[in-house]
Amino acid sequence: MHKTFDPQAIEQAHYERWEQAGYFAAGKGDNGFCIVIPPPNVTGTLHMGHAFQDTIMDTLTRYHRMRGVPTLWQPGTDHAGIATQMVVERQLNADGKTRHDLGRDAFVERVWQWKESSGGKISRQMRRLGASVDWSRDRFTMDEGLSEVVRDVFIQLYDEGLIYRGKRLVNWDPVLRTALSDLEVLSEDEAGHLWHFRYPLADGSQHLTVATTRPETMLGDTAVAVHPEDERYQHLIGQTVLLPIVDREIPIVADEYVDPEFGTGCVKITPAHDFNDYEIGQRHNLEMINVLTDDARINDDMPEAYRGLDRFDARAQIVEAFESLGLLDRVEDHTLKVPRGDRSGSVVEPYLTDQWYVKVGPLAEPAIQAVADGRIRFVPENWSKTYFNWMHNLEDWCISRQLWWGHRIPAWYDESGNIFVGSDETAVREQHNIDASIPLRQDDDVLDTWFSSALWPFSTLGWPDQTEAMASYYPTSVLVTGFDIIFFWVARMIMMGMKFAGDVPFREVYIHGLIRDQDGQKMSKSKGNVLDPIDLIDGIDLESLVEKRTTGLMQPHLAPRIEKATRRQFPEGIPEFGTDALRFTFASLATTGRDVRFDLGRIEGYRNFCNKLWNASRFALQATEDTNLDSVPENYEPSLPERWIRSRLNELIGEVERQFARYRLDLAAQAMYEFTWHEYCDWFVELAKTTLYDDQATDGAKAGMARTLLDVLDALLRVLHPLTPFITEEISLQLAERLGLGRETLCTADWPAAGQADPQAESHMLWLQGIVGGIRQIRGEMDIAPGKAVPVLLSESTADDEARATELRPLLMRLANLESLEFVQDPPTACAVALHGNLRVSVPMAGLIDVAKERERLQKQRDKTAADLARTEGKLGNQNFVERAPEAVVVEEQRRAEEHRSALARLDAQIQELAAMAD
């Protein structure tokens, strides 16, 4: 084995072997464990969030697979309608073309080509992470089977009246020229103005002042509203105003919606361009006048002067017109929520169009119930509150998009506009007896990407067929995802799963946090703080990193700043850490309910951890090379260190099982780290050397120790494997050969069984660690060179101490590097002293120890002991404490006081003796 662990040398070869051997194939049988992957964008690349999520899913999957449960991690990718279409359109734009130049069929063909050429990237990256998905089941939301499921579901929902087509106000993205769902619109505070316009009463007697943030919509005003109880305006209700510029006479209506406190208390009402106004329009039967085209220009029904003007130019001109008419009262600065499309970033317009909707009320009811009664459990629990909050306020879901890339809506129209829904045109004609001579036209729109995503947990398992996979794995076990798509995806999967697959789609939803940069900032290309998980695995030099971060920016002027920050933060680039270190880092950071700051310091630490494991294994294999492992005697009695390490291993296994069960990968990782480094390496390996390097030790003892060293390592590797599959596999293959296990992989190896604890061994070890620690402390603080062996005298010992010291003598000698170890009645004064319970551990000073320094050291201990004693005695002196605290607590406190008193007395005595000696 090489002296340091080299991840690059082993990772890819192992993964290829695993995949070829089919270790990740779906297991057969009932009560399986299944995770369906949140399908990434097929043409996308892996980012830190994916890597984090994949690590969690892979760890859980590997763990269950090792436990012998039929296991499936279902992979796949999403067609990501808008996102993918935009990418390809941008490519066309670069050639000076638009998608309309190509036409629909050619454009869609082009997107498929792009999907074929770039679609493999994310899968390759997942392989680098070690993701143990069943690639043979890989699915794509637009492959044939899934598209059929989409059509079937659409048709059934339509037939049941749960999908309908309607003309309503929708969120319209005028750049992409498509409708968006409420979720795809993000409203942010932006600086704007509040324009106050005077609208003259029709009788010319006076005017009303209305305030608006969007002057251009006044062209479509069909009323002015005031609050019914607003005394200022009550007498005007029912009268009309003459809308300036368009000279339309419109009514003054009373509506509770109006807040008399805000602005002037008068609101202009534009039902065709504002969601609230739309509602008011419905209540008052107002006309809806659309003033815009689908790319947000003023349409041809409007006064000629404004036709064809962009909405923002029109805004300026209308304000100008009001000013010149003397009707501009004033302009105020005003911050307002501006709705923008989450993809295009353009200001979204409420726009009156025909769209398809899912009527969610009937679907939501059972979906709410499933979470309420615990059939689906959110982890952490508080997310269910977010879920309920949203589910109780659902609006119908607009599912049609005016795009070309996606599942085309399976609806056909005849020339009189009748709608026929069916799987294809032939089916539609058959079902409705439509003669071939009658032309039918398919709906141009495609479905919201999330429509197919909502079906993902059962569509990928083969529904509607009664497949083995459905039987074994539906409902799936757990959904692992971020909080940002609870509404987009989680809620809709629950609704659709219950409606169509007859049960909840998953039993638990594990919500993880967002990966942020070291300063807590979101990672984004424009901030230039993105880390590529593959760069953390393989490393990257500074120049390449700078180039990666500064090319392809939407705002190229940010490049210099990004470059500077990158050079400052990574002066040496990023070193190679390997996949296992990255995965271990993610797991360690996977605490529930909070975002994760990705700190390079952590990954470095876990790379070191991998190296530590590597070297401990190297030691275990080398040090036992010449040992015949089969020569362990029949009646072999394991030594204390062996009993201890096995006891600790059992504790580790149990702890990891407990923490995995509650998705606390951070605590599981911490337990693994602690055991590996601080128990196996720091103590057991050192203790094992005592036997293995001892010429006096019998062959049987050596063989027994070697066996334990290797057996425990083997179990440890299995415990670590779900988190760090590559390094454990590599070591394990060598180990398995040595142990004659005939094992080809850890992927399908048995999860180790947790045996009984051995309290006696643990207590003996605590004693040993206490004594060794005391002596090491003296060494450390007295600056005794580590290589210098020291004599040690034990006194004031109990029979128990003596028995232990005798049994553990060789261990003490080695671990504390002792020259000698003796029991004495009265140790000389000139000693450095450590107390372990009643036992006094003395290191004679001759030539080793500075008396003044030792006094100082003891004084520090004395002060601490005195403080502890004071606190303890304070408690015991409190009558209330003694009477009301549980007896065990009081007894423990008394014992502690006793110990402190005794230690204090002896420290005082020792200090005085040293003082006397110095005089």
Partner RNA sequence: GGGCGAUUAGCUCAGGGGUAGAGCGCCACGUUGACAUCGUGGAGGUCGGUGGUUCGAAACCACCAUCGCCCACCA
Residues 181-210 that bind RNA (CB under 7 A): 182-183, 187, 194, 210
Q: How far is the CB of 750 from RNA (least distance, A)?
A: 26
Nearer to RNA, 89 or 277 (CB): 277
**Beta carbon of residue 671, minimum distance to RNA (angstroms, whole number):** 10
By beta-carbon proximity to RNA, the closer residue of 113 and 526 is 526
If residue 819 lies in a helix (H) or strand (E), which one and from where to where? strand 818-823
Q: Are strands 400-401 and 446-447 parallel, antiparallel or unpaired?
A: antiparallel
Based on the shown chain and the rule CB under 7 A, indicate whether residue 766 belongs to the binding site for RNA. no
The interface with RNA within residues 681-740 (CB under 7 A) comprises: 681-682, 685-686, 689, 693
Cα–Cα distance list, 809 to 151, 431, 443, 574, 813 (Å): 77, 91, 87, 48, 6
CB of 281 to RNA, least distance (A): 14
Binding mask 451-490 for RNA (x = CB under 7 A): ---------------------------------x--x---
H or E stretch at 832: strand 831-836
What stretch of H or E contains 830? none
Q: Indicate whether 278 belongs to the interface with RNA (CB under 7 A).
A: no
Binding mask 665-684 for RNA (x = CB under 7 A): -xx--x--x---xx--xx--
Is position 773 an interface residue for RNA (rule: CB under 7 A)? yes
Work out whether 211 is an interface residue with RNA (CB under 7 A).
Answer: yes
Nearest approach, Cβ of 909 to RNA (angstroms)? 21
Q: Is the dihedral of CA 718, 719, 724, 728 positive or negative?
A: negative
Closest approach, Cβ 887 to RNA, in A, equals 10
* Window 280 to 319, contacts with RNA (CB under 7 A): none
- Separation between Cα atoms, residue 268 and residue 276, nearest integer Å: 11
Q: Which is nearer to RNA, 338 or 419 (CB)?
A: 338
In the complex, least distance from residue 412 CB atom to RNA, rounded to whole angstroms: 34
For position 345 contacting RNA by CB under 7 A, the verdict is no
Does position 607 interact with RNA (CB under 7 A)? The reply is: yes
What residues contact residue 888 under an 8 Å CB cut-off, 6+ apart? Answer: none
* Binding window for RNA (CB under 7 A); candidates: 71-79, 291-299, 746-754, 776-784: 776-784
Q: Decide if residue 23 touches RNA (CB under 7 A).
A: no
Contact set for RNA, span 829-868 (CB under 7 A): 860, 868
Task: Let me know: does 380 contact 223? Beta carbons within 8 Å.
Answer: no
Of 129-137, 268-276, 471-479, 832-840, the segment contacting RNA by CB under 7 A is: 268-276
Q: Cβ 808 to RNA, closest distance in Å?
A: 17
* Count of residues that bind RNA according to CB under 7 A: 98
Q: Pick the closest to residue 58 from 631, 532, 503, 480 (CA basis).
A: 480
**Site for RNA contains 901 (CB under 7 A):** no
DSSP string, 833-898: EEEETTEEEEEE-TTT--HHHHHHHHHHHHHHHHHHHHHHHHHHH-HHHHHHS-HHHHHHHHHHHH
Q: What is the DSSP letter of 312?
A: H
Minimum CB distance to RNA, residue 733 (Å): 18
The answer to whether the Cα torsion of 364, 76, 719, 683 is positive or negative is negative
Between 393 and 555, CB nearer to RNA: 393
State in angstroms the smallest separation of the CB of 546 from RNA: 24
Under the criterion CB under 7 A, does residue 622 sit at the interface with RNA?
yes
Could you say which of 139, 268, 315, 648 contacts RNA (CB under 7 A)? 268
Q: Which amino acid, residue 120?
A: G
Task: Pull the structure tokens for residue 404.
Answer: 């070309």
First to last CA, the chain: 59
Dist CA 650 CA 642 (whole Å): 12
Tell me if 182 sits within 8 A of 192, measured CB to CB.
no
Distance CA 531, CA 550 (A): 13
Count of positions (residues) in the chain: 919
Where does 417-558 have alpha helices with state H? 425-432, 449-454, 456-459, 468-473, 491-496, 533-538, 542-550
Q: Does 234 bind RNA (CB under 7 A)?
A: no
| Residues between 782 and 801 with contacts to RNA, criterion CB under 7 A | 783, 785-787
Minimum CB–partner distance for residue 94 and RNA (Å): 32
What is the spatial distance between Cα 536 and Cα 530, in angstroms, rounded to a whole number? 11
Give the x/- contact pattern for RNA in 623-662, rule: CB under 7 A: x---------------------------------------
Q: How far is the CB of 694 from RNA (least distance, A)?
A: 9
Minimum CB separation of residue 274 from RNA in Å reads 6
Phi, psi (5° rounding) for residue 916?
-60, -40
Tell me the two tokens of residue 907.
């420290």
Which of 274-282, 344-352, 698-706, 707-715 is the region at the interface with RNA (rule: CB under 7 A)? 274-282
Binder of RNA out of 46, 66, 258, 640 (CB under 7 A): 258
Out of 166, 502, 556, 593, point to the residue binding RNA (CB under 7 A): 593
Does residue 368 belong to the site contacting RNA (CB under 7 A)? no
- In terms of CB distance, is 441 or 522 closer to RNA? 522
Q: Is 1 exposed, middle or buried (0-12, 13-18, 19+ CB in 10 A)?
A: middle
Least distance from RNA to the Cβ atom of residue 770, Å: 11
CB atoms closer than 10 angstroms to residue 95 = 8
Q: What minimum distance in Å lies between the beta carbon of 800 and RNA?
A: 20
CB 457 within 8 A of CB 36: yes
The only residue of 70, 200, 228, 260 in contact with RNA, by rule CB under 7 A: 260
Instruction: Compute the distance between CA of residue 280 and CA of residue 258 in angstroms, rounded to an integer.
Output: 10
Helix (H, G, I), strand (E, B) or coil at 162: coil
Cα 810 to Cα 806: distance, rounded to the nearest angstrom: 9
Q: 386-405: which residues touch RNA (CB under 7 A)?
A: 386, 389-390, 393
Piece in contact with RNA (CB under 7 A), picked from 467-475, 501-509, 732-740, 871-879 = 871-879
Nearest to 311 by CA among 337, 278, 348, 340: 348
The minimum distance between CB 472 and RNA, in angstroms, equals: 33
Q: How far is CA 91 from the centre of its chain?
A: 32
The answer to whether residue 263 forms part of the interface with RNA (CB under 7 A) is: yes
Only one of the segments 130-138, 169-177, 440-448, 884-892 lies at the binding site for RNA (rule: CB under 7 A); that segment is: 884-892
Nearer residue to RNA within complex by CB, 182 or 657: 182
Stretch (H or E) spanning 329: strand 328-341
Say which DSSP state 521 is in: P
Give the binding range for RNA (CB under 7 A) out of 89-97, 526-534, 722-730, 873-881. 873-881
* C-beta pairs of 282-286 under 8 Å, 24+ apart in sequence: 283/255, 284/223, 284/251, 284/253, 284/255, 286/222, 286/223, 286/251, 286/253
Q: Are strands 76-77 and 349-358 parallel, antiparallel or unpaired?
A: unpaired
Please list every residue from 130 through 189 that binds RNA, using CB under 7 A: 182-183, 187
The interface with RNA within residues 498-527 (CB under 7 A) comprises 518, 520
Q: Does 22 bind RNA (CB under 7 A)?
A: no
Contact in structure between 739 and 714 (CB atoms under 8 Å): yes
| Among positions 610, 671, 705, 712, the unique one binding RNA when judged by CB under 7 A | 610
Q: Which residue has the tokens 């090491």?
A: 776
Any idea what DSSP says for residue 591? Answer: -
Task: State the CB neighbour count (10 A cutoff) for residue 347.
Answer: 17
CA gyration radius for the chain? Answer: 37
Binding status of residue 611 toward RNA by CB under 7 A: yes
CB nearer to RNA: give 385 or 441.
385
Q: How far is the CB of 732 from RNA (least distance, A)?
A: 17
Q: In whole angstroms, give the CA distance from residue 57 to residue 129.
A: 11
619 binds RNA (CB under 7 A): yes
Using CB under 7 A as the binding rule, the residues of this chain from 73 to 112 that contact RNA are none
Nearer to RNA, 312 or 693 (CB): 693
